[in-house]
Structure 1
Amino acid sequence: MKKDLHPANYRPVAFKDMSNGDVFVSKSTINTRETIEIEGVEYPLVKLEISSSSHPFYTGKQKLVDTAGRVDKFMNRYSKHIQNKQK
C-alpha cells in the first residue's frame, strides 16, 4: 500500500440535521468553525440540510423538504418573466 494515502486526523464530529434537529456523532476530518456540547463533551459541528433521519427514501414518507426556500427564491427571481409570458 502507498504510505500517507489516508488522512491521519480523524476525530469525532457532530452532524446536525437542520430539518428535524437530529444530531449524530461520527468520525471525520472535516474542518468546522462551530462546536456543540453533547453529554458534557464538546464536538466540532457540521450542519446538514438533510440526512438519513429526514430523507424520504429512508423514512418512507414522501414529503418535500424545502429548507432553503428554493421555490420561493425561484418565483421571486423570475416572477417578471412568468407574468410577461402569461399576457
Structure 2
Amino acid sequence: MKKGIHPDNYRLVVFKDTSNDYTFMSRSCAPAKETIKWEDGNEYPLVKLEISHKSHPYYTGKIQYVDTAGRIDKFKSKYGKFQKDKK
C-alpha cells in the first residue's frame, strides 16, 4: 500500500446486514460505535447496514420485503379507514 494516501483510521471493520444477519469483513474508514468478536477471536469495529449484496434485489434476483421501520404498519394505520368492509 502506498504511504500517505490513506487516513490514519483505515482498518479492518465488520459490516453486518441487519435484514438477514449476514456479516463480512473489509477495510474501511467508516465510523463505528460498536464492536463485535469475529471468527478469529479478535474484536473489530461493527458497522450496521440496512442492505448488502446478500439482500439487494439486483444481486439476489428476487424481491425481499424488509419492514425495518414499520412502514407497512404506518401505511395500514393511515389508510386503513378507507378499506371497504368485507361481507
Length-normalised TM-score, structure 2: 0.73
Larger helix proportion of the pair: 1
Deviation at 1:63, TM superposition (A): 2.4
Is this contact kept in 1: 2:13–2:26, CA < 8 A?
Answer: yes
2:30 matched to which residue of 1? 30
RMSD, aligned CA: 2.5
Identity fraction in percent:
57
> Which structure 2 segments of 5+ residues have no match?
none
Structure 2 CA distance for aligned equivalents of residues 10 and 83 of structure 1: 52
2:66 pairs with 1:62: no
2:81 matched to which residue of 1? 83
Which deviations, in whole Å up to 9, do the C-alpha atoms of 1:28-71 show, x marking residues without a partner?
Answer: 11222211001201110111111111111101112222222212
Q: Report the AA paired with residue 43 of structure 1.
A: Y
Length-normalised TM-score, structure 1: 0.73
What's the secondary structure of 2:59's corresponding residue? helix
2:56 pairs with 1:52: no
Deviation at 1:5, TM superposition (A): 7.2
Structure 2 CA distance for aligned equivalents of residues 57 and 20 of structure 1: 16
Structure 1 CA distance for aligned equivalents of residues 6 and 27 of structure 2: 14
2:15 matched to which residue of 1? 15
> Which structure 1 segments of 5+ residues have no match?
none
Structure 2 CA distance for aligned equivalents of residues 41 and 5 of structure 1: 27
Is this contact kept in 1: 2:55–2:64, CA < 8 A?
Answer: no
Q: Report the AA paired with residue 43 of structure 2.
A: E
